[in-house]
Structure 1
């Protein structure tokens, strides 16, 4: 499907290239959702922004997730019926940006993050009910998912074989089954990597960059810095 076809079909999932072409300067794609942060500076302005966003969402019959704190509002958009981002999200994102600008709430994409936890296991389906119960979540497509968004999504992956030369995870003597997937915007990956290295981290592999970098802390515990770049 071409970019123009996807943009005109409200049920078609949009690619990262589609979203870049849409020119949503205030928004970034993180995993399968759009996210924006608006710096309000005070609680009253944030509350007004949330109220107006709610009214716009009701008018569009398309509803975002909204987080309000004293000095900022974070808005997340996703078309749950298709499991991704569609033109409905793009349209509402544009409207929300207009509302925020009208209130003097500046967009700030710096530091936008989406966290997932990955567990190396050959039998994730067997473990999924336990983690769903532990986190107050539910099992969807074989993984624990919290519809309220209070805890990160947990996903399972087959452990890499140490002798697998094609693995982006070179073997070492540090055993680890859990790792964090830290999703950042397409233009944030290298900055986040530089910050991690400056803070004492170690680059384990950049074989899959800019899709993801594997990093480790001083004790060898690994995590991945992930972006939407170079993904199908």
Structure 2
């Protein structure tokens, strides 16, 4: 398997893309639907010779792309090559990336016995268990579920919280808007990897970025 790049190296290599949850993401706004599908066709043409194909999602005039090295995610030099080829198409067509629109949601389930809980979610969703034992949609259309080990039962609180991963430069604004909407900061001790926020009733969401997660060079 190809060597994985650090999050910092991947982010630096594709400055118009954003690293979210082990993948590089790009969102492009086209002026009309025809241009959006023309862009998709051109992406296919430049990606095919490289032996890789980014995931593509077209919603009207908006095209979202993501590249990663399977099966467990992560970004390799081959993914960077695809990203740069796509960047050349974006430039040729006069399009621009819109990183502020990017959001990837994970669902975290706090559990005492993860091995007992995980099979239920795998069965009820009909997805695959891959990458850190997460339950993931093989088509990557739905949010992944991951399981956080609890040391003792917590019956007094909701045991499900949302992990909301955004572009690193979007996180401060996202947090500010959430606080202005009535939320409060539970903890920023692990920032900029993640901030824990809660709504007025205490239901929690972690705003997450790639930053602060790579090993510190020795």
Q: State if a TM-score over 0.5 links the two structures.
A: yes
Question: Which among 39, 43, 63 is matched to residue 53 of structure 1?
Answer: 43
Q: Are 1:65 and 1:77, in contact at CA under 8 Å, matched by a contact in 2? A: yes
* 6, 19, 23: which one aligns with 1:15: 6
Residue in structure 2 matching 1:181, options 158, 163, 182:
163
Alpha-carbon contact 1:200-1:218 (below 8 Å) kept: yes
Which of 145, 156, 173 is equivalent to 2:147? 156
Whether the 8 Å contact between 2:11 and 2:19 is mirrored in structure 1 is no
* Match of residue 167 from structure 1: none
For residues 164 and 186 of structure 2, the distance between their equivalents in structure 1, rounded to whole angstroms, comes to 15
Indicate yes or no: 2:195 matched with 1:213.
Answer: yes
Count residues with an aligned counterpart. Answer: 213
SS of structure 2 residue aligned to 1:47: helix
- The CA deviation at 1:185 is 1.6
1:85 aligns with one of 66, 72, 75: 75
Displacement of 1:203: 0.8
Contact 2:112 2:152 in 1 (8 A): no
Alpha-carbon RMSD across the aligned residues, in angstroms, is 2.0
CA contact 2:106–2:144 (8 Å) conserved in 1: yes
1:196 is matched with 178
Moved over 4 A (4+): none
How far apart in 2 are the matches of 1:147 and 1:124?
A: 21
Aligned partners of 1:119 and 1:157 also within 8 Å = yes
Structure 2 match to 1:130? 120
Please list, as runs of the form range in 1=range in 2, the aligned pairs for 1:98-137 lying within 5 A after superposition.
Answer: 98-137=88-127
Counterpart check, 1:143 vs 2:134: yes
User: Unmatched 5+ residue regions in structure 2?
Assistant: none
Shift, 1:159, TM fit? 2.2
Cα distance in 2 for residues equivalent to 1:71 and 1:65? 17
Q: 1:93 to 1:78 in 2, by over 3 A?
A: same
Q: Secondary structure at the match of 1:37?
A: strand
Q: 1-side partners of 2:50 and 2:58: how far apart?
A: 21
Displacement, 1:177? 0.5
Alpha-carbon distance between aligned partners in 1 of 2:106 and 2:71, rounded to the nearest angstrom: 21
**TM-score when normalising by structure 2:** 0.91
Higher relative CO (CA 8 A, sep ≥ 6), structure 1 or 2?
A: 2
TM-score, normalising length: structure 1: 0.85
1:14 alignment partner, SS class: coil
